[in-house]
Amino acid sequence: MSETGAFGEDLADFVRRVAELRSARALPPEEQRGVLDAALFELQHAAETLWPRYERLAARAPEGTSAERQERQLLKTVFQRLPLPVALVDRDTVVRRMNLAATTLTGVRAGYATGRPLSALFTPGDRAPFRTQVAATARGEGGRSLTVRLQQRPKEPVRATLAALILPGEPQQTVAVVLQPGAAGAGPTGPAGIGRRSSATGDAALPTAPAGARGRSRRLGSAPDLAEVTERAGTLDLVDAVATALLRTTPGDARGALEAAARVLHERFADWVIADLAADGPAGPARRAMVLGPPDDGALAKTLLDQDPADCPLVTEVAAGGSASLQVRPEDALALGTDPGGAAVLVRAEVSSLLCLPVVGDAAATGGATGPEVLGVLTLLRTRARRAFSMAEAQAADALSRHVGLAMRRPGPPA
């Protein structure tokens, strides 16, 4: 690892530790003495270690020539346009990059996948083996492959081939994951020969039926998974309830449509729902329109209602980029800002997972030249021991947010 990469990794760890210290302000006074000692230690670390290293790096000339930068740009373009589904992950399977073919295969936009574990897209039984093989590849134990199944299509096998890469500027070794749908294997293969066919027997794949036919035969011959059926039924009920609520709103009442959807989502889908509205149009600042939470936490609900969305980094990021964000056990305790006392909102609410969704208008109406037209932001929170949002639920909620945007754009009756 280069000195620049090592410094970046140390700095990222320092930032995470500082965020934890800031969230500790919500602790009782008698427990804050240890937090103060830790904060003083972190300040000493920044002054005596991080700052001198930064000065040494800043004194150096910028790395790479113009030709090298052009070469890297060419490689990035080739990666994105490659017809094979490819994802670059770290040793914990967290996605760093995913090309267009991979987003098409998984049905997950890059905004969902980047920064989140690729293993979360697979069925529960395939996640642990995938993480194990990725970790082994990242340790330098050689390339390997295994069969996994996507949550969206659990009956169709996908062959995942892993290879270690050393990329310039990356803080740690990267693993390239090539996904081949419909290519089932005999099990994980690795450098030790486990599950690998020898060259004497040939490497040609056995003839197989088309993927669609195999999927249909398996569906006819096997019982459906109860948990999957239950989740899909719940998602369909949610879509129906939100659509019904939107159709009952008065055309031209953008705020009414947003609040109607928020009520349904709070009743059926999330413990907390925070609705922000771009009251002066997509180009104007967002204003807090509604906050719905547990009936026994009215004080926090009032705090959130009085909060300026501009003080919530995650809301600002989603509104500016137009891409949704799914976080399970959020690492940044300050993603939704703080209360007047300085305590992190996520810590006070005991949030276990969150969904932050842009409410976008009709992209066809704006021609798509300037990006999505963000009319507002819906932030959904689940707390304590409630099951975290799944990728399937996140995709359904993202589709619902687009429906809300269309309802908000409905013209009112003529004067």
Sheet containing 287-292: order of strands: 287-292, 272-277, 374-383, 351-360, 325-328
In angstroms, the CA 243 to CA 201 distance is 57
Query: Any idea what the Cα angle at residue 394 is, between residues 82 and 389, rounded to 5°?
Result: 125
- Give ∠ CA 19-24-26 in degrees, rounded to 5: 130
- Give how far the C-alpha of residue 225 lies from the chain's centroid of Cα atoms, to the nearest Å: 25
At 2 the pLDDT is 63
Instruction: Round the CA-based radius of gyration of the chain to a whole number and report it.
Output: 24
The predicted structure's pLDDT at residue 33: 72
Q: What is the pLDDT of residue 288?
A: 95
pLDDT at residue 311, rounded to an integer: 93
At 87-143, the pLDDT tens digits run 999 999 988 888 988 988 988 876 677 888 899 889 888 888 899 999 989 888 888
Instruction: Indicate the domain borders of the chain.
Output: 3-58, 82-188+211-221, 227-408
Q: What is the CATH number of domain 82-188+211-221?
A: 3.30.450.20
Task: Find out whether 275 and 259 touch, Cβ atoms under 8 Å.
Answer: yes
Regions in the chain scoring below 50 on pLDDT: 61, 186, 191-222, 365-369
Q: In what order do the strands lie in the sheet with 95-98?
A: 95-98, 86-89, 174-181, 157-165, 144-149
pLDDT tens digit string along 282-337?
A: 667 889 999 999 999 999 999 999 999 999 999 999 988 888 888 888 888 899 99
Whether CATH 3.30.450.40 fits 227-408: yes
CA distance linking residue 213 with residue 210, whole number of Å = 5
Can you tell me which residue has the tokens 């920064």? 115
* E-strand stretches of 17-167: 86-89, 95-98, 144-149, 157-165
- Per-residue confidence (pLDDT) for residue 53, from 0 to 100: 78
pLDDT at 371: 59
Domains 82-188+211-221 and 227-408 share a fold: yes
Residue 66's pLDDT is what? Answer: 63
pLDDT of residue 281: 64
Q: pTM of the predicted model, to two decimals?
A: 0.50
Cα 120 from Cα 330, distance rounded (Å): 15
CB of 273 closer than 8 Å to CB of 288? no
